[in-house]
Amino acid sequence: MSNAFRLARGGRIDRDRPLHFRFDGREYQGYRGDTLASALLANGVHGVTTSIKYGRPRGIMAAGPEEPNALVQVEKPFPEPMLTATTLALRDGMEAAGLPGRGSLATEPDPARYDAMHAHCDVLVVGAGPAGLAAAVTAARSGARVILADADTESGGSLLGTGELLDGAPATVWVQRAVRELAAHPEVRLLERTTVFGHYEDNYAVAVQHRGDDAPSRQRIWRIRAREIVLATGAHERPLVFPGNDRPGTMLAGSARTYLHRYGVLPGSRAVVFTTNDSAYAAAIDLHDAGVDIAAIVDARDVVSTYWASLCVQRGITIRHSATVAGTSGTERVTGAYLANLSHGATHAMNVRRVVRCDLLLVSGGWNPAVQLHGQSGGAVRFDEDTASFLPEPDDRRVRSAGAAAGAFTTAACLRTGADAGAEAARACGFAAEPGTLPDAKHPPVLAGYRGPWFLPSPIDNEGGTQFVDLARDATVADIRRAVGAGMDNVEHVKRYTTIGTAHDQGKTSGTTSTGIIAELLGRDVADIGTTTSRAPYTPVTFAALAGRDRGDLYDPIRVTALHDWHVEHGAPFENVGQWKRPWYYPRRGEDMEAAVLRECRAVRTGVGMQDVSTLGKIDVQGPDAAEFLDLVYTNKMSTLRVGRIRYGVMCTADGMVFDDGTLMRTAEHRYLLTTTSGNAAAVLEWLEDWLQTEWTHLRVHLTSVTEHWATIALAGPHSRDVLARVTDIDVDNDAFGFMDWRDGTVAGRSARVCRISFSGELAFEINIPWWYGREVWEALHDAGKRFGITPYGTETMHVLRAEKGLPIVGQDTDGTVTPYDLGMSWAVSKKKDDFLGKRSFSRVDTARSDRKHLVGLLPRDTGVVVPEGSQLVATTELPAPPVPMLGHVTSSYRSSVLGQGFSLALVKAGRERIGETIYSPVGGRLIPLEVTEPVFYDKEGARRDG
């Protein structure tokens, strides 16, 4: 039965390019230019799948994205669920299967690439039918930058499927001319196979381009910022609601015409045409002329057009007016239509008069303008009684509709409204634009459509259980009836009760009809009921397309320091700290993490270690009021810091909670260098700018981020001075270079700024050199330190060492609910300053409580234990029934080489009052006894910092 329904001639397929494909396991052949649907129809296949709820056979209903039925699962070249056969371009070797409602996802990874592109234009035209082409050509001639996007594989829109004439020649000739003209404009971008699927604020339109499996990216998201938008998205034909209206072989009349003209396919041999308006007549005539036996035209109207009647008479086609299809026969495919007369006013159907045999039932219930994007853009719609459809309400936003999307249902009107819209849009962008002369399109007089009930009365099915409204969701008139009966009078409730409009097609064919039926059942106006909300996407879009190229390593920037490669070469695993990669520890052969960290800790405590601390945020603060400013943002007093000196400082948010900490060095009378924690650098800078620019505008201060200008190397341990001395010209003697001093000089021949800061409690230095010299200086220090057994250490060791000294880490030992007092840092909170950020909050009732959680130390009675971080703390030796009162939790916990045991920092209710007490932590079903201690475990007197 190969291509038995393919005409010998005609259509826009490439007959020299046959394509082989499999559907539901069977081999077929089609041509390049076919969709899967047209190729199936050419092979006589209508039935594509079964319906989701009732398992009824379902076929191809439409020829575009409005298709409610013909869902397929692509199996090859790569599995993709739920595509409509009517929009799926055929390719050689394609394998697909009918999909009864639910798709399946591939288990192997998608090999395709997806990307995105930003674009700007004066005028974006959506849709390249007659209206869109006219709009684009008009706007382009004015010199405006134009983007014309169309979902289809070629431009022309409906003109590709109607066989009509423009200026006496096939309309496609004009289409080609228009496209050629547009392509020649340097300021025009033509986007074929590109569906504009979303409209967002300020005319930001998003589109997906289907570039094909072999393209550099399979799909591309276009992010288009347009000054003006013309929506020329056409209209979708409405099916009719009658018993058995879902049998395969039932097809929209206009779609049948498209299959004929565009694909050279006859969708059947004997057709009944059932319509409520003029538009189906053209389909009937064209199909008849192509060889389809038109068994009858059933027109629900009492009066039919004399123009079309005479054409039918010439061809011997019978028209039955005031009639309806009251039911259908057939199982896998329609075999006949039951015709009945309609009473006057069409409120009742008479008994079935006649059964007409057919294998094709063409239906047309009028047209729904594709107002989805208009709706997304915030545009209103109004119900138009004449066309029984919702039309876009024009407004003064920069989005305008044209053509069938605006209710212009003749080609002449589409061309005119398109050209007008294009000209207006271009003018709105400041271009002198005039709609030029348009091709001549003949159109017959149009007779008003049928105004009877939205579901046709039938003696066969009173409840409407076989009268399908949303075929994709298997929802019927009976379902709407039940919803309304349940008390629902809102279209949104009915949608959710019946699920109408919630399938892949988002109710393109069912929306207006279901509103009509609700109105009818409630005896209210259609306009009153209205529509459901249009939402992006207009047609479904793959997750992968939206994800684009921000995948894998590009998911989020990987920030590295100047020393990164050295760390890699030396085997360090990395810790993610914000976007930074920081070396975590440097395992030697055979070492696990714990062993490596204990070794690194020992090295710092007894010899010397070195760490890359370049990730610390650094901000240059300058200006005559810098000191005053810093006094306001730090809890400490910073104005008293002397040039050449460094001070540790804490910043709080205005609610008194610790926000960041770091060191501040005074580099000149009016200049400081401030450091922040690694993850917080951007936030701190923004926070400082905020206060400077919006609150303390009188302060003369400038902030400059210099984080990456400097590479920073920490050198820590009793031998750090010895190492540094070998490579620097700075006098590193304790008297010359004291704790919390900084000095400029050279290190390994490069100019450097060296600070005496210690985060480990040991004698330590931090060496800052411009990024470019980072590795060179690091290696020089490493060489110089060899004789002292210099040991590179990572973040984990740094954490252990600082915890032994009771130094908290913001974000680990604090969680946004902790004040400096809670941390036991009242020494860092100035009592002398009138104000600073956070000060006022310390006296609030809750913040001033003495039983708040305090940072304390914990020592397990069992020295072999390291309590897991995050463990909760309780006061009792046995757990009562929940809820168990909790005292706090363990924030940091490690095994210490110097203590020879595990130890923790914890936030504990009234912790400082509990020092010396024993509290407990439930760990793995046991209660571990812990002694509450001061948070400083090692070198409490601070004797080691001078070496």
Partner 1 sequence: MLLLPCPWCGPRNETEFHYGGQAHVRYPDDPQAVSDEEWAQFLFFRDNPKGTFAERWSHRMGCRRWFTLHRDTRTHEIRTDDRTSPARTVTR
Partner 2 sequence: MAELYGESPLTSRTHALDRDSAPQAVRLTEIAFTPQIGLRVDPKSSAAERISTAIGAMLPHQPDSAVHTGDLLVLALGPDEWLLVGREGTAGALQATLTAALGEDHGAVVDVSAQRTIIGVSGPMSRDLLNQGCALDLHPRAFGEGRCAQTLLARTGVVVVCRDAELPSFWLLVRSSFARYTADWLADAATEYRTTVPAAPGAAANDYAVCS
Partner 3 sequence: MPRTPGADLPEHPDRLWHNPDPKSSYDAVIVGGGGHGLATAYYLAVNHGMTDIAVLESGWLAGGNMARNTTIIRSNYLWDESAGLYEHALKLWEGLEDELDYPLLFSQRGVLNLAHSLQEVRDSVRRVEANKLNGIDAEWVDPQQVAEICPILNTSPDLRYPVLGATWQPRAGIAKHDHVAWGLARALDRMGVDLVQNCQVTGFERVGDRVVGVRTTRGTIHAGKVALAAAGQTSVLADELGLRLPIQSHPLQALVSELLEPVHPTVVMSNAVHVYVSQAHKGELVLGAGIDSYNSYSRHGAFHTIEREMTAAVELFPMFARAHVLRTWAGTVDVTPDASAIMGLTPFEGLYINCGWGTGGFKATPGVGWCYAHTIAHDEPHPLNAPFSLERFTTGALIDEHGAAGVAH
Ligand X SMILES: Cc1cc2nc3c(=O)[nH]c(=O)nc-3n(C[C@H](O)[C@H](O)[C@H](O)COP(=O)(O)O)c2cc1C
Ligand Y SMILES: NC(=O)c1ccc[n+]([C@@H]2O[C@H](COP(=O)([O-])OP(=O)(O)OC[C@H]3O[C@@H](n4cnc5c(N)ncnc54)[C@H](O)[C@@H]3O)[C@@H](O)[C@H]2O)c1
* Residues lying near ligand Y in the complex (CB under 6 A): 126-132, 149-152, 157-159, 195-196, 232-235, 279, 367, 370, 373, 403-405, 409-411, 414, 538
* 558 interacts with partner 2 by CB under 8 A: yes
Exactly one of 270, 357, 482, 559 binds partner 2 (CB under 8 A); that residue is 559
Please give the C-alpha separations between residue 802 and each of 139, 187, 458, 931, in angstroms, as whole numbers. 67, 62, 84, 20
Exactly one of 569, 834, 851, 878 binds partner 1 (CB under 8 A); that residue is 834
Half-sphere exposure of 893 (CA within 13 A, CB side): 21
Q: Which amino acid is at 492?
A: E
* 204 interacts with partner 1 by CB under 8 A: yes
d(CA 940, CA 934): 9
d(CA 680, CA 687): 10
Helices (H), 849-917: none
Shortest distance (Å) from residue 230 CB to partner 1: 19
Residues 636-655 touching partner 3, rule: CB under 8 A, are 655
Is 145 within 8 Å of 121 (Cβ atoms)? Answer: yes
Residues 198-257 touching partner 2, rule: CB under 8 A, are 210-217, 223, 225
State the SS3 of 191-234: ECCEEEEEEECCCEEEEEEECCCCCCCCEEEEEEEEEEEEECCC
Shortest distance (Å) from residue 149 CB to partner 2: 11
- Give the pairing of strands 323-329 and 336-342: antiparallel
Stretch that binds partner 2, among 248-256, 371-379, 559-567, 843-851 (CB under 8 A): 559-567
* 195 interacts with partner 3 by CB under 8 A: no
Shortest distance (Å) from residue 676 CB to ligand Y: 47
Is 465 within 8 Å of 478 (Cβ atoms)? Answer: yes
Q: Which is nearer to partner 2, 120 or 926 (CB)?
A: 120
d(CA 626, CA 638): 10
Residues 829-888 touching partner 3, rule: CB under 8 A, are 841, 844-847, 868-872, 874, 879, 881-884, 886
Q: Going by C-beta distance under 8 Å and a sequence separation of 6 or more, which residues neighbour residue 506?
A: 372, 535
The CA dihedral of 596, 599, 601, 605, to the nearest 10 degrees, is -170
* 459 interacts with partner 2 by CB under 8 A: no
Please give the C-alpha separations between residue 926 and each of 650, 865, 921, in angstroms, as whole numbers. 38, 12, 8
Exactly one of 382, 570, 702, 844 binds partner 1 (CB under 8 A); that residue is 844
* 189 interacts with partner 3 by CB under 8 A: no
Q: Which is nearer to partner 3, 198 or 439 (CB)?
A: 198
Structure tokens at 305: 């057009």
Exactly one of 775, 782, 833, 912 binds partner 2 (CB under 8 A); that residue is 775
Shortest distance (Å) from residue 509 CB to ligand X: 14
Q: How many CB atoms lie within 10 A of CB 897?
A: 21
496 binds, among ligand Y, partner 2, partner 3, none (CB under 5 to 8 A by kind): partner 3
Radius of gyration for the chain, computed over Cα atoms and rounded to the nearest angstrom: 38
d(CA 200, CA 534): 12
Exactly one of 93, 738, 749, 816 binds partner 3 (CB under 8 A); that residue is 816
Beta-bridge mates of residue 204: 200, 225
* 73 interacts with partner 2 by CB under 8 A: no
Shortest distance (Å) from residue 68 CB to partner 2: 14
Q: How many CB atoms lie within 10 A of CB 193?
A: 18
d(CA 192, CA 169): 24
Exactly one of 289, 690, 744, 862 binds partner 1 (CB under 8 A); that residue is 690
522 binds, among partner 3, partner 2, ligand X, none (CB under 5 to 8 A by kind): none
Residues 337-396 touching partner 3, rule: CB under 8 A, are 378
* 24 interacts with partner 3 by CB under 8 A: no
Terminal C-alpha separation, the chain: 94
Please give the C-alpha separations between residue 537 and each of 206, 373, 429, 576, 875, in angstroms, as whole numbers. 9, 9, 27, 35, 56
* 51 interacts with partner 3 by CB under 8 A: yes
Helix (H, G, I), strand (E, B) or coil at 869: coil
538 binds, among partner 1, ligand Y, partner 3, none (CB under 5 to 8 A by kind): ligand Y
Stretch that binds partner 3, among 75-83, 310-318, 712-720, 785-793 (CB under 8 A): 75-83
Q: Going by C-beta distance under 8 Å and a sequence separation of 6 or more, which residues neighbour residue 843?
A: none
Structure tokens at 647: 């001070």
Helix (H, G, I), strand (E, B) or coil at 169: strand
- Give the pairing of strands 671-676 and 617-622: antiparallel
Residues 230-249 touching partner 3, rule: CB under 8 A, are none
* 117 interacts with partner 2 by CB under 8 A: yes
Q: Which amino acid is at 219?
A: Q
Exactly one of 655, 708, 931, 939 binds partner 1 (CB under 8 A); that residue is 655
Structure tokens at 940: 């409490």
Stretch that binds partner 1, among 124-132, 161-169, 681-689, 771-779 (CB under 8 A): 681-689
Residues 492-521 touching partner 2, rule: CB under 8 A, are none
Q: Which is nearer to partner 3, 78 or 691 (CB)?
A: 78
886 binds, among partner 3, ligand X, partner 1, none (CB under 5 to 8 A by kind): partner 3
Tell me the per-residue interface mask from 706 to 735 with partner 2, x by CB under 8 A, - otherwise: xxxxx-------------------------
Exactly one of 64, 264, 717, 761 binds partner 2 (CB under 8 A); that residue is 64
Please give the C-alpha separations between residue 416 and each of 135, 142, 143, 192, 430, in angstroms, as whole numbers. 9, 17, 20, 23, 21
Exactly one of 4, 313, 486, 595 binds partner 3 (CB under 8 A); that residue is 486
* 436 interacts with partner 3 by CB under 8 A: no
367 binds, among ligand Y, partner 3, partner 2, none (CB under 5 to 8 A by kind): ligand Y
Tell me the per-residue interface mask from 163 to 192 with partner 2, x by CB under 8 A, - otherwise: --------------------x------x-x
Helix (H) or strand (E) holding 873: strand 872-873
d(CA 192, CA 149): 6
Exactly one of 332, 393, 525, 556 binds partner 2 (CB under 8 A); that residue is 556
Shortest distance (Å) from residue 806 CB to partner 3: 18
Residues 182-201 touching partner 1, rule: CB under 8 A, are 200-201
Q: Which is nearer to partner 3, 55 or 430 (CB)?
A: 55
Q: Which is nearer to partner 2, 633 or 867 (CB)?
A: 633
* 571 interacts with partner 3 by CB under 8 A: no
**Cα 241 from chain centre:** 37
Interaction site with partner 1 (CB under 8 A): 200-202, 204, 223, 225, 378, 654-655, 685-686, 689-690, 693-695, 697, 834-835, 839-841, 844-845
